[in-house]
Amino acid sequence: MEDAAEFFDYQIMKPENSIPTAHDKLLFTPGPLTTSLSVKQAMLHDAGSWHYEFNAVVHQVRKQLLAVAGLSREAGYEAILLQGSGTFGMEAVFATCVPPQGKVAVMANGAYGERMVQMLRLARIDHVVLRTSEDTPNDPTALDCLLMEDPAVTHVAAVHCETTTGILNPITALGQVARRHQRSFIVDAMSTFGAVPVDFAEAGIDFLISSPNKCLEGVPGFSFVIARRAALLACEGYARSLSLDLLGQWKGFEKNAQFRFTPPTHSILALAQALCELEQEGGVAERAGRYRRNQAVLVAGMEALGFEVYLDASVQSFIITSFHCPDDPGFTFEEFYRCLSNRGFIIYPGKISQANLFRIGSIGRIFEADMRALLAAVAETLKEMQLGEAGTGA
């Protein structure tokens, strides 16, 4: 990132020994997440949205995002930034990349697969849904059967980590099925990009959507799409929206290195710093190791306090973990949440109807010591709620 930083009057911060965190409440959520102090400080600068200095940062960020994915422009891939949350990026892919007579097969086992269905319905794009229960990964065999029986399907869409529960879906197996049937493959990697390695070629991914405020440890404000260039160029004339025209956005970058519409300058400066810190940490593998350790400490500690994990360990991601609420009339999530918040810890409510759950994330600028501090706060909260520390499982 030094190349981009040289254009600025300030230097992107690169602490020698540590990355400090500001003293906010710690976020144990699927994002936005706790960020480093230096990522926050990167936003304390104004940037001209059309100025060559800022354009250089955008160019470097796009290049670095490809590098995080193990890709490059020379290998035929592009990183396209788009104003708006990850949902905007997902909708932009559907609005741009599915032909007028196309049809999308959606793999759904949670809220974000269902959100894809809603997007397609509102865009009047033909689609079919392959659902599994919220504790069961997407089924590649069912997809294989569907694609054999329905030649109208042009695209397959799946969520890598469905943070409704924390389940990890088999996107490589799904992508191989899609490629065997010569269908395009779209992946929602909001909560995994930057921590869960993905082999784009092996998985046959054409479009991957993510956002900076998850495992990259940046802040909200935009999303990005990593696209196989040939697949992107094949979308000429398909766009159903002006602002969500992904190909149009890419053409803008190619023409003058600029966004077509006002970019989230401060969020992009924050991601430039966050990408430096990902590299400083040792890249995707090292970040994944930290998150795995966080999750292992969390699960061991919560189980010791009597809580029960919702998912089987074989399908559980290290991104976020769902726990059953205690089967005790004295327990309410609202009070549990408030007590933890008062102690400086923010967790997440459950999001499914079949079980009474709450969720705790393991990602962001948090460490094993933070997980242990959270566990101590949970123990104190149980006592405050007069539930004790044992027998609280569902």
Structural domains of the chain, ranges and CATH numbers in brackets: 2-10+36-281 (3.40.640.10), 284-384 (3.90.1150.10)
Of 290, 260, 280, 317, residue with least CA distance to 64: 280
Q: Which string of DSSP letters, residue by residue, matches 191-202?
A: TTTTTS---HHH
Of 194, 196, 188, residue with least CA distance to 164: 188
Q: CA 56, CA 5: separation in Å to the nearest integer?
A: 9
Sign of CA dihedral 368, 373, 376, 381: negative
| Contact call for residues 273 and 13 (beta carbons, < 8 A) | yes
Q: Residue 384 corresponds to which tokens in the numbers above?
A: 């405050």
Q: Which residues contact 302 (CB under 8 A, 6 or more apart)?
A: 309, 321, 323, 360, 375, 378
Tell me if the bond preceding 15 is cis, omega within 30° of 0: no
Mind listing the pLDDT tens digit of every residue in the chain (394 residues)? 444 433 333 334 444 445 555 478 999 999 999 999 999 999 999 999 989 999 999 999 999 999 999 999 999 999 999 999 999 999 999 999 999 999 999 999 999 999 999 999 999 999 999 999 999 999 999 999 999 999 999 999 999 999 999 999 999 999 999 999 999 999 999 999 999 999 999 999 999 999 999 999 999 999 999 999 999 999 999 999 999 999 999 999 999 999 999 999 999 999 999 999 999 999 999 999 999 999 999 999 999 999 999 999 999 999 999 999 999 999 999 999 999 999 999 999 998 767 899 999 999 999 999 999 999 999 999 999 998 653 444 4
Question: Do β-strands 222-228 and 320-324 pair in parallel, antiparallel, or remain unpaired?
Answer: unpaired
- How many helical (H) and strand (E) elements, i.e. helices and strands, does the chain have? 14, 14
pTM: 0.92
Q: CA 234, CA 292: separation in Å to the nearest integer?
A: 39
| Contact call for residues 313 and 346 (beta carbons, < 8 A) | no
Of 142, 86, 129, 134, residue with least CA distance to 316: 134
